[in-house]
Amino acid sequence: MNGVCVVHTVHSTAAVIVNEHEAGLIKDIVKKVQQDFPRWAGWLHDKVDDNADAHLASSYIGPTRIFPVREGRLVRGPWQNIFLLELDGPRTRKIMVEIIGE
């Protein structure tokens, strides 16, 4: 089977990312997100829910990643892992995985 695999979170304060599974890098990613989208930075949405930083980060990073599928196998590089980036938790989250192909 050839096609695509869609990995999607159905939440507006989480994101799906692809990268190496290395403890220092994971901490760096979290640090960078916190620097780019600081909590309580005067975001207007904070007047409603107090989590505008999470919504903004999710909007920029994205809830979905698409991967090729070749001969029934997910195609990714040797260091590419798929992660849910929690931006407003911890919370219970759902991830949808859909394979579309011939």
Number of domains in the chain: 1
Q: Give the percent of the chain with pLDDT over 90.
A: 99
Per-residue model confidence as pLDDT tens digits over 42-91: 999 999 999 999 999 999 999 999 999 999 999 999 999 999 999 999 99
Return the pLDDT at 81.
Answer: 98
Return the pLDDT at 102.
Answer: 86
Give the structural domain span for 45: 3-101
Considering the entire predicted model, what is its pTM? 0.92
Structure tokens, 64: 């979905």
Return the pLDDT at 93.
Answer: 97
- How is 41-90 classified by DSSP, letter by letter? SS-GGGGTTS-HHHHHHHHHH-SEEEEEEETTEE---TT-EEEEEESS-S
List the CATH number of the domain containing 73. 2.60.120.460
Q: Are 17 and 83 spatial neighbours (Cβ–Cβ below 8 Å)?
A: yes
Q: Are 56 and 43 spatial neighbours (Cβ–Cβ below 8 Å)?
A: yes
Return the pLDDT at 97.
Answer: 98
